């Protein structure tokens, strides 16, 4: 395993698809998130910085793998909204799912509030409206 918790074969598979992990951003009980670079061989000028959530079904609870993961994947493929992070691609290799998505370089809302303190009411209204619009599940 490398310092990025990848086997050499996983690294090779990612590279053939144009992806390379740069650093680990965070982790939970059975998923890790990496900063990744996307450079497809077919278009070397195209270069994107993405986040990749890697879910290891080998260590995840069986009820999560059976019930919740299929639902999460199904929703992620259907989501297309300006207020929701765009999913670039999803693929599975053995027990792991690789979910590549737009990298939110400024972090998430909780990080922002912890770093900057309370938010003015006008800004909070704007963000709350965007959050509500992004979670309008009738559109999924």
Residue list for the binding site for ATP: 53
Distance CA 89, CA 96 (A): 14
What are the DSSP calls for 100-111, one per residue? EEE--TT--HHH
Please give the angle made by the CA atoms of 42, 81 and 115, to the nearest 5 degrees: 95
Q: Choose among 15, 13, 12, 8: nearest CA to 41.
A: 15
Tokens of 116: 């900057």
- In the annotated binding site, the residues are 53
The b/e string for 36-74 (b: 16+ C-beta within 10 A; e otherwise) is: bebeeeeeeeeeeebbbbbbbbeebeeeebeeebeeebe
């Amino acid at each position: 395993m490398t310092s990025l918790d990848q086997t050499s074969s996983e690294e090779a598979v990612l590279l053939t698809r144009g992806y390379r992990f740069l650093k680990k951003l965070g982790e939970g009980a059975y998923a890790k998130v990496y900063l990744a670079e996307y450079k497809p061989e077919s278009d070397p000028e195209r270069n994107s910085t993405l986040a990749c959530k890697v879910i290891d079904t080998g260590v995840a609870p069986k009820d999560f793998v059976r019930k919740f993961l299929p639902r999460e994947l199904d929703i992620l493929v259907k989501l297309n909204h300006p207020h929701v992070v765009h999913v670039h691609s999803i693929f599975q290799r053995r027990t792991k799912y690789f979910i590549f998505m737009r990298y939110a370089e400024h972090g998430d809302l909780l990080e922002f509030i912890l770093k900057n303190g309370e938010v003015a009411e006008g800004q909070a209204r704007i963000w709350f409206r965007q959050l509500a619009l992004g979670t309008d599940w009738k559109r999924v």
